[in-house]
Chains A and B, each alone.
Chain A
Amino acid sequence: MDITQQLINGLTQGSIYALIALGYTMVYGVLRLINFAHGDVYMLGAYGGFFAASALGVTSLIDKGGSAGILQVAAIFAIGMLACALIGIFIERFAYRPLRSSPRLTSLITAIGVSMLLEFGGQAVFTPEPRPFPALIDNRFLQVTIVGTALALMVGLQLIVTRTRVGRAMRAVSLDRAAASLMGINTDVIIAFTFALGSALAAAAGILNSIYTPTIDPLLGVMAGLKAFVAAVLGGIGNIPGAVLGGLLMGFAETAVVAAGYSSYRDAVAFGILILVLLLRPSGLLGRVAAEKV
């Protein structure tokens, strides 16, 4: 394969990582919490898409063409994203909100527990066997569609965060939760909204990735989630453009390693990058360096 194709592969993989990374970075921004369960929400998104597709009777390539096919695919995305947004709100309400004033380690362990619950709950409900995902998009423009959809979602997110009242409230909460609350912002609602937004993006990424792969299993979120987290740290956690940049870089790095013939080291790349970033520039590429207050 020539280098252009490899670059396109990297871009495709990278935009999927970027979409997941956005959820990590937003939640970290408002709560200072690494939401370990985010990768598993991505998995649930893939299953949501799968079940939506079978409910709508979409089992294979859309050969009908025209608007009906596009509408069906749009509906599948909408259902998956909505379901995951609700799951995200639910997780925040019952697992994280009661611990908001506890030590960060307590929340972290809870997050690990929630992640395990979703993974093995997923194994119990969906069975561990991989399932083939319906080919919703024609292979000829699959990669273009993935990158395009991801880009559209990122632009949409950017608009929400920078142009709307709720986005301004999100930024305020991320800057200083107590002060935001004193200014009349309902922080609970904003935090729930942030979880919903991040989870919906993860669901979209899950469906896109499943069309690309094209199989799904209940543990697919583990590695993807960890890699996307690394992407968020690489870009500077808490920073939205940073998450996109980090995701794309992760995608390119991984594709490069696979293309060079070291595909068995693929999963080590992410952690190698993570360790280097944390040692050399812990605040990430676009993150601000914050002095530690004693």
Chain B
Amino acid sequence: MNGARFADFAVHSRFLIVVSGIPSPVSLVMNSRSLPAKIALSAAVVALLLGVQAMLGRYFNEYVQQIVLYAGINIILAVSLNLINGITGQFSLGHAGFMAAGAYSAAAFTFYVGPQITARFQNEAAGSNVVFIVALLLSAAAAGIAGLLVGLPSLRLRGDYLAIVTLGFGQIIIVLITNIREVGGAAGMTGLPLMTNFVWVAALMVLCVLSVRNLAISHLGRSMKAVREDEVAAEAVGVDTTRAKVLAFVISSMWAGVAGALQAHYIQSAHPGSFTFIRSIEVVIMVVLGGLGSITGAVVTAVLLTGLTEVLRSITGAFAVGLSLVLFAAVLTLPRYRSAMRQSAMGWLLWLRWPLLSGVALVAGFVFGRDWLEARVAALRFVIYALILIVLMLLRPQGLLGRGELSWSSLRRSRSATTPEAEGASERSEPVDEGVRGTL
């Protein structure tokens, strides 16, 4: 039960209780039924975004703006992948492929057709916005079709096989793109117009999170969750599992395509190398770390991992992240040794042997091998990602939030009331570590 306890700890820490008196802005929008109210609220949101953008441009340098934008794009990616991997319980390793489909179709449109459309407008900004809207729709459509093609085999495949097939599809999309000369082939496309800005990313991010959240609690979303829990049982009680699975793939890849288009029109280029398997894995890590099935978890970890990418550019950052990982692992293993610790002081040693060993190794590496590590900091980033993934799977496979959501109402909830869903999740996926048991 350490899972539920940890969630309790996260939810009831003092800081969050202070915040929880404020009504949720999301619920304000969602609960207002009348159309004028919705329009007014949406206008207010856009005005707010424009204000934030002006502020970002004025008070923060380009580096910070870039991180904020990447965080937004990563949120779209993580939340959309969560629809397949978390809510529907399938496993896709091809998210970067869908991104590529969206990025390239949008890029081709803005590059080849865009200038002609912009020329017809008096106002250049208006023209470019119209072009971008069409490009975004196109990217969603292209990626959605790709998602449909991948969703179809998912009807027959489960678990690890599906993972490999989606990986394969992602790879095939990249190979196909590399062979189209019009979009630059292996060299990629450069010279795209800069169209993505904070307002676009933030608005689409909010739209993505809201749409996935609303989908998850809708009839279709419940079908998807039924497929996740037990596909055969769902089928038996009349859930249209085919529809649920295929739609999950289509909707998820549409958002991935949009994220790809946003990215391509921010860095003003599209390159096959930025949509490889590793990119898919990055998104998978976000979803798994946040907790498969938790939308807020995906949002939090998308921001976290975007920040981590920057932190891991320096060796000091890598060291700090490494130490935090060791601490995290130590905290997670604590409950297993609690009874041993009560019996004797040896219990403490048992608990701390791995954290101490790895901590000492880290410090030694940092002190004596600094120059050596400095030269390898690029590879080190992915080594740390890999370690995060392994430690997480070994110690807390349900992720940080499990299937629970970090919501405004959950912050107010009393300590005893954990959602039955989160409870069940942590119970089911509780790791049984035979090795540890044997030593006790």
Task: Write the residues of chain A forming the contact surface with B, with a CB cutoff of 8 angstroms.
Answer: 33-34, 95, 97-110, 112-117, 119-121, 123-124, 127-128, 222, 226, 229-230, 233, 264-265, 267-268, 270-272, 274-275, 278-279, 282, 294
User: A102-B397, A279-B156 are known contacts. Are A226 and B167 too (CB-CB below 8 A)?
Assistant: yes
A-B contact pairs, 6 of them (CB 8 A): A107-B393, A121-B379, A123-B376, A271-B167, A271-B171, A275-B169
User: A108-B160, A222-B277, A268-B171 are known contacts. Are A95 and B390 too (CB-CB below 8 A)?
Assistant: yes
Contacts of B165 in A (CB 8 A): 271, 274-275, 278
For B88-102 the 0/1 string (1 means CB < 8 A from A) is: 000101000000000
Nearest CB on A from B434, distance (A): 7
Whether A279 lies near B153 (C-beta < 8 A) is yes
Tell whether B48 is near chain A: CB-to-CB under 8 Å: no
Which of A97, A109, A124 touches B284 (beta carbons < 8 Å)?
A109
Tell whether B429 is near chain A: CB-to-CB under 8 Å: yes
Contacts of B278 in A (CB 8 A): 116
Contacts of B232 in A (CB 8 A): 294
Closest to A98 in B: B433
Contacts of B424 in A (CB 8 A): none
For B143-187 the 0/1 string (1 means CB < 8 A from A) is: 000000000010011011101110111011001101100000000
For B375-393 the 0/1 string (1 means CB < 8 A from A) is: 0101111110111111001
Which of A101, A123, A270, A278 touches B153 (beta carbons < 8 Å)?
A278
Whether B431 lies near A102 (C-beta < 8 A) is yes
Which of B160, B171, B388, B436 touches A34 (beta carbons < 8 Å)?
B160
CA distance A127 to B171 in the complex (A): 25
Tell whether B130 is near chain A: CB-to-CB under 8 Å: no
Tell whether B435 is near chain A: CB-to-CB under 8 Å: yes
Besides the contacts A116-B281, A271-B168, what 17 more A-B pairs have beta carbons closer than 8 Å?
A99-B397, A105-B91, A106-B393, A106-B431, A108-B159, A108-B163, A112-B389, A113-B386, A113-B393, A117-B390, A120-B379, A121-B379, A124-B373, A124-B379, A222-B277, A271-B171, A278-B153
User: A109-B288, A110-B389, A282-B161 are known contacts. Are A120 and B172 too (CB-CB below 8 A)?
Assistant: no
Whether B178 lies near A264 (C-beta < 8 A) is yes
User: A108-B160, A226-B167, A275-B165 are known contacts. Are A123 and B172 too (CB-CB below 8 A)?
Assistant: no
Closest to A274 in B: B168
User: A104-B159, A110-B390, A282-B157 are known contacts. Are A119 and B431 too (CB-CB below 8 A)?
Assistant: no
Nearest CB on B from A135, distance (A): 28
Whether B172 lies near A97 (C-beta < 8 A) is no
Whether B161 lies near A278 (C-beta < 8 A) is yes
Q: Which of B57-94 contact A (CB under 8 A)?
A: 91, 93
Nearest CB on B from A128, distance (A): 7
Closest to B391 in A: A113
Whether A275 lies near B153 (C-beta < 8 A) is yes
Tell whether B432 is near chain A: CB-to-CB under 8 Å: yes
Which of A103, A120, A275 touches B383 (beta carbons < 8 Å)?
A120
Top 4 closest pairs, chain A to chain B, by CB? A271-B168, A113-B389, A116-B386, A120-B382
CA distance A121 to B284 in the complex (A): 20
What is the size category of the interface that chain B forms with chain A? 35 or more
Which of B159, B167, B172, B428 touches A272 (beta carbons < 8 Å)?
B172
Nearest CB on B from A251, distance (A): 18
CA distance A167 to B358 in the complex (A): 37
Tell whether B394 is near chain A: CB-to-CB under 8 Å: yes
CA distance A278 to B157 in the complex (A): 8
Whether B434 lies near A98 (C-beta < 8 A) is yes
Contacts of A99 in B (CB 8 A): 393-394, 397, 431
Q: Which of B381-440 contact A (CB under 8 A)?
A: 381-383, 385-390, 393-394, 397, 428-429, 431-436
For B339-350 the 0/1 string (1 means CB < 8 A from A) is: 000000000000
Which of A98, A116, A121, A265 touches B175 (beta carbons < 8 Å)?
A265
CA distance A123 to B161 in the complex (A): 28
Whether B168 lies near A121 (C-beta < 8 A) is no
User: A34-B164, A120-B379 are known contacts. Are A112 and B176 too (CB-CB below 8 A)?
Assistant: no
User: A98-B431, A109-B284 are known contacts. Are A124 and B153 too (CB-CB below 8 A)?
Assistant: no
Whether B164 lies near A117 (C-beta < 8 A) is no
Nearest CB on B from A215, distance (A): 19
User: A34-B164, A271-B169, A282-B156 are known contacts. Are A264 and B175 too (CB-CB below 8 A)?
Assistant: yes
Contacts of B432 in A (CB 8 A): 101-102
Closest to B389 in A: A113
Q: Which of B275-290 contact A (CB under 8 A)?
A: 277-278, 281, 284, 288
Contacts of A115 in B (CB 8 A): 386
Nearest CB on B from A87, distance (A): 15
Contacts of A278 in B (CB 8 A): 153, 156-157, 161, 165
CA distance A109 to B281 in the complex (A): 10
Residue with the highest number of chain A CB atoms closer than 10 Å, among B161, B179, B389: B389
Whether B380 lies near A124 (C-beta < 8 A) is yes
Closest to A117 in B: B386
CA distance A278 to B159 in the complex (A): 13
CA distance A112 to B175 in the complex (A): 22
Closest to A123 in B: B379
Closest to A110 in B: B393
Which of A110, A128, A275 touches B394 (beta carbons < 8 Å)?
A110
Residue with the highest number of chain B CB atoms closer than 10 Å, among A33, A119, A278: A278
Nearest CB on A from B190, distance (A): 20
Nearest CB on B from A103, distance (A): 6
Contacts of B373 in A (CB 8 A): 124
CA distance A229 to B93 in the complex (A): 16
Nearest CB on A from B286, distance (A): 13
Whether A128 lies near B175 (C-beta < 8 A) is no
Contacts of A294 in B (CB 8 A): 232
Which of A95, A108, A116, A275 touches B382 (beta carbons < 8 Å)?
A116
CA distance A128 to B381 in the complex (A): 14
Whether B389 lies near A267 (C-beta < 8 A) is no
